Amino acid sequence: MDSSHDAPAPSRGGRQEETDSNKQHSEAVPDDDGGAKKRRRVDISHTAAAAGGHSGGGSVGAGGAAAESQQQQGGAISLSADLTAPMQHSNQQQQQQHPVWYVCAHRGSDFLLRDVLRLRETCSRARGLFGAPQLRQRLSHELGTQAGLRRTANEQQLLTFDDQQMGKGDLLAALCVTEAGGWSEICEAVELAAQCGNCQLPVRLTAADLHQYPNKTAYLAAPRVLAQLKMVGPHIDFGDGVTFQLFQHDNTLMAIKDQDGFEIDIDPPLPPNHPYQQHRQPHDPPVRSRIDYRPLSPEGWRPLRFDWVYSSVSSCVKRIVIDHFATIHQINRPNILIDRRVANNRLDTLLTQSPHTPVAGCTTTASDRFSGTGTCRHFVFTDASHPFVAWITVKDLVYHNNVRVFVRTTESAVSGVGGAFKDRFPQTTQLARVVLGDIISAMVFGQ
């Protein structure tokens, strides 16, 4: 399994085997008074059912799944039900556990989540220690320290939970989802959507969002960014009641509209020499889709005749968000043909490097290829501190050495100033220079 899917370390002490103190603590917890009942615990350690799945997360299914459904899912049940109604396991099953979830009762002690649940079941005096208030405190701590959940520009929180409306089961599910980590890709998409006016920060996930998956097996089997998008997507709002909601019909997944033509193919088969196959990330795999938006068409959202292939799930979201933004706003968009070899092959490098490579001066990037054409890369270089949105698109023309460079910005032109782009849009020019370099910037912005 790809290392990016390994379960993240808990916030204290790192990922490790059960410590001596935890073992002593487990041994010190008696079986139920009088030995009338067996010691009970919860298995929350599951590996992904598929190679693209992520481990270390929790399920986010709705509570109370029927027994028949549980059997169909290999015995897995929803996280809310699982964590609030522990199952009995044999000693052999207990020895095979690899628990990674911790719940802090207070700053000085970490408890394995299984031990917290055992205490709640077997020790009446301890039940009050791990109620909803303590779980909310722990969740708040995780949200404040988890990498990728805060905006880099001003440290604003990007994602949170409607925890005051959640019971214990949903709070435990929220903890599991948060502690699974790996939120950077989807939060870049959320931050871009906020810049484009498609959501308010922080995005506040609800119990209903957590229940997008029926059980932990299904959640862990999905590529991590796709699993997160199922929860976050309904909060990316394009107006007129349209969001980035996903719709699942057996093995068919649709996005934005529950209609034919809006299918998204996750991790489609690609030729071995395809750049997105060569740089494929199992937790954020390529996507094939025909979804497009044209405000002048009667339906607005529509399927194209040919496919787009995106380098990743997160790239698909970002490209659709920014294309929608560009079609409904007044955009200044100079473009020019430039030899890809100038400036020490700068443009060629941007097109051929891994689409997941961070680019200096950019807050986020996206990469895609239209059917029968070359790569397009999009470099967003504004953030929350700017009163406008601006990005560069570099398009490979495939059959010769020239590429087309587009600069797109909503910056207001300097009043009373004409002539070159650099004089009319000085802030965009300054920011884009970091991405393109001085030589190419002079060619683009001197027009």
Q: What is the pLDDT of residues 257-279, one digit of tens each?
A: 999 999 999 999 999 999 999 99
* Contact call for residues 343 and 258 (beta carbons, < 8 A): no
- The listed range with the strongest mean pLDDT (75-89, 173-187, 381-395) is 381-395
Task: Report how far Cα 131 is from the mean position of its chain's Cα atoms.
Answer: 29
Interior/surface letters 145-161, b for 16+ CB within 10 angstroms, e for the rest: ebeebbbeeeeeebbbb
Instruction: Answer yes or no: is pLDDT of 97 > 80.
Output: no
**Per-residue pLDDT, 105:** 36
**Per-residue pLDDT, 110:** 47
Q: Can you list the positions of beta strands (E) in 252-401? A: 252-255, 264-266, 287-293, 301-310, 335-339, 364-370, 375-380, 390-396
pLDDT digits (tens, 9 = 90+) for 214-224: 767 777 789 99
Instruction: Answer yes or no: is pLDDT of 85 > 70.
Output: no
**Per-residue pLDDT, 79:** 52
Instruction: Answer yes or no: is pLDDT of 390 > 90.
Output: yes
359: helix, coil or strand? coil
pLDDT digits (tens, 9 = 90+) for 403-412: 999 999 999 9
pLDDT digits (tens, 9 = 90+) for 197-208: 999 999 999 999
pLDDT digits (tens, 9 = 90+) for 167-179: 988 998 898 888 8
Look up tokens 């109370």; give the residue. Answer: 64
Instruction: Answer yes or no: is pLDDT of 314 > 60.
Output: yes
Higher pLDDT, 210 or 38: 210
Instruction: Answer yes or no: is pLDDT of 86 > 80.
Output: no
| CA trace torsion 335, 337, 343, 345 (10° rounding) | 120
Sorted by sequence, the CB contacts under 8 Å of residue 108 that are 6+ apart come out as none
Instruction: Answer yes or no: is pLDDT of 45 > 70.
Output: no
Higher pLDDT, 97 or 169: 169
**Per-residue pLDDT, 197:** 97
